Chains A and B, each alone.
Chain A
Amino acid sequence: MSGPSDVGSGRAAHRRAVSHRHHGGGLRQVTLGAAGLALVALFWELLKASGGSDHTLGIVSTDDASMPGVAAIWSAFFQEDVRGQGRTVGAAVLSGGWYSFRLAVAGFVVALIVGVALALLMQRIHVAEQAWVPYVVLSQTVPLIALAPLIAGWGGSLTVGPFDWKPWLSATGMAGYLAFFPITIGALRGLKSPQIQAVELMDTYAASWWQTIVKLRLPASVPYLLPALKLGAAQAVVGTIVSEISIGLKGGIGRLIIDYFQKASGDPSRVFTAFIGAAVLGLVVAAIVGVVEFALMRNLAGPSGQGVSV
């Protein structure tokens, strides 16, 4: 048996390892991320340059209209968005990103509630799992673009109590529709992860189903839920932007992409500012989930990352 000092130093070593992994790792990640971005920009410019004076690379056109240079895209951020209004493209992308971000978060919250509730129901009623999992999988094979106009159409004729259906609710619904799938599957796996012995331990305490959920199954599902939440968050962003585009919702990144595409012949670099805005939006959402993950995992899981010591 280990003496107190062994165990004490083991704990300290673990704490050091954790703090090292996260603090040192954070800086490392930022540096690597910046390096990766620089590499992409460099590759882009090389590709463009290799087109030569006739601006073609096989079937790919490398002229400024198809591949605006990095500098051109950068300067596009500071151009005036609509002549005479004084707002820059950068500001437009930022406010579009903020709008889409809120829709995506709302969609994600809906997905989280629906996904976990569905997983709880399927855990509780085994027949429900067998009956629904195929449909949950099937729901994801229907292309979102096919559904978006349909949902927007339904929404237009819908009144929920005193509230009229707003178009942004359709986008949020779509984001939730895309995001709930990984959350449901991850939560279900997590809820079912405790070993039979841990469940029987709760039985020996005559714990209720709900107590077993709160004290055992939910904490044990955290390591399964976190990757699912990450995936779900990314899906919510994709769902928001795709549905903004397909129902033509104003205010978000999706609409900016359409607008800038329509003006692409005049200024192709603007389309790329909207693309970059969408990518940053995805990164911000992933970073937020990462912070939640760090906060939850710090105390929850051991070095093994497993739920229950055996």
Chain B
Amino acid sequence: MSGLIRRTARPGIVPVVAVEAVDKVFNPGKVNQVDALAGISLSVAPGEFVSLIGPSGCGKSTLLRLIADLSQPTAGTIRINNKTAHQARLDLDYGMAFQHAGLFDWRTVRRNVELPLELRGWDRSKRSERAAEMLSLVKLSDFASHYPWELSGGMQQRVAIARALAMDPPLLLMDEPFGALDEMTREHMQAELIRICSATGKTTIFVTHSIPEAVYLSNRVVVMSPRPGRITKVVDVALDTRSDEARQSAAFFAKITEVREALRAVERVDERVDERVDAVVDVGLGLEDR
């Protein structure tokens, strides 16, 4: 099966992210041991937009956290721009956005965007210049001196994206950033994200639950299966345009079907495992009865 899956970027290009044979086990050796990821290999080329999709518990967020060096792999290696994930974090090689905007309520929108710059000791004028630039990129210039709680959820998420981009990192890691938004806002944000990514040439890894979102945004959609988390299929998308019309195109629906079928295959495997587990449990109970 793995022969069918293109897990590496085009040859000859140094990948921005190179994940090699990564396993992640939580609580190893304990009763509550969880095999979160097994044998994950993934390579992301410069400028590529890759989505991770799969059912809950398939480890897609865990994989993102490993790339972000917020958690350590049990086995395997992760390199970002040919550095260790740890070094990449210290060098601010990536910006991260979470499901919740996570803005600081005591800071204005502008000062929220300036946070990473402050931490790096930028002086005031450089900071405010960059923040203004980022806020105009996410079209929130008029709200620079507002406080986060005065903004809608979608606007807060745009501030979070501006903050993630403030240090101009080559890589953007996004963990279901639009998960808490309503459908209309969500589609608007997707269009905005595509505009921002193509304007800045960022490489992006994007975790999502939504098939249309993954297909609309991505160059490649990585389908994952749970227990333990594995990559089961990688779907190349490559839509010609990403206008609103593209959402109605036959190519778009064809790719959605392809991803959905890959996810269904994951479910079927899952059911078979469950049946076998049930059978084992039945036998076990039978033995105990005797």
Task: Name A's B-contacting residues (CB within 8 A).
Answer: 1-2, 4, 7, 10-11, 14, 195, 197-198, 200-207, 211, 215-216, 219-220, 222, 299-304, 306-310
Contacts and interface: CB of A to CB of B under 8 A. Distances in A.
A197 B102 contact: yes
Contacts of B70: 200, 203-204
B185 A309 contact: no
Interface of B: 68, 70, 89-90, 92, 94-96, 98, 100-106, 115-116, 118-120, 142-143, 146-152, 154-156, 167, 185, 188
Given A197-B100, A201-B96, A215-B119, A307 B152 contact: no
B119 A211 contact: yes
A69 B106 CA distance: 51
B149 A303 contact: yes
A191 B89 CA distance: 24
Contacts of A197: 98, 100, 102
* Binding site secondary structure of chain B: mixed
Given A2-B152, A205-B120, A299-B147, 12 more contacts: A1-B152, A2-B155, A7-B146, A7-B155, A11-B147, A201-B98, A203-B70, A204-B94, A299-B106, A301-B105, A302-B149, A308-B104
Contact of B102 (A201, A299, A302): A201
Contact of B68 (A1, A204, A207): A204
A219 B68 CA distance: 26
Nearest to A302: B149
Contact of A7 (B68, B92, B118, B152): B152
* Binding site secondary structure of chain A: helix
21 contacts: A1-B188, A2-B152, A7-B155, A11-B147, A197-B98, A200-B70, A201-B98, A201-B102, A202-B119, A205-B120, A206-B92, A215-B104, A220-B106, A301-B105, A302-B147, A308-B103, A309-B100, A309-B103, A309-B104, A309-B105, A309-B148
Contacts of A222: 106
Given A204-B70, A204-B96, A206-B90, A7 B150 contact: yes
Nearest to B154: A1
A14 B150 contact: yes
Contacts of A302: 105, 147-150
A1 B89 CA distance: 33
A301 B147 CA distance: 9
Nearest to B103: A309
A14 to B, nearest CB: 7
B114 to A, nearest CB: 11
B89 A204 contact: yes
